[in-house]
Amino acid sequence: KAGVTQTPRYLIKTRGQQVTLSCSPISGHRSVSWYQQTPGQGLQFLFEYFSETQRNKGNFPGRFSGRQFSNSRSEMNVSTLELGDSALYLCASSPGQVIYGYTFGSGTRLTVV
């Protein structure tokens, strides 16, 4: 079965712009989580959605937002980009319970210049 698909794989944006990243979970998975990965901070939790509802949000500014659609696909948006937002953004899906682990996508590499 198809894995978690993230698009695009690479993005270059300018400071002040906004960006939208997309994630298609494994078929049947209703939970989608987003993480930011940087060399200095490692994997940091952004938010988690289940059946279109945000159940958990990490400690990120309001410029970071997300949503989930009825088909479980999810998008995250970052507005007013800053240089420090450059990172690998990873999406992960699970059937619903985090304790059984996620399946991660390959990520979107965002570079802000």
Contact 8, 108 (CB under 8 A): yes
Each residue 58-87 as x (binds other proteins by CB under 8 A) or -, in order, gives xx----------------------------
- Backbone CA torsion sign across 34, 99, 24, 2: positive
- Collapsing DSSP states into helix, strand and coil, what is residue 99? helix
The one among 19, 21, 48, 78 contacting other proteins by CB under 8 A: 48
Binding-site ranges for other proteins (CB under 8 A): 4, 31, 33, 35, 42-43, 45, 48, 50, 55-56, 58-59, 90, 92, 98-107
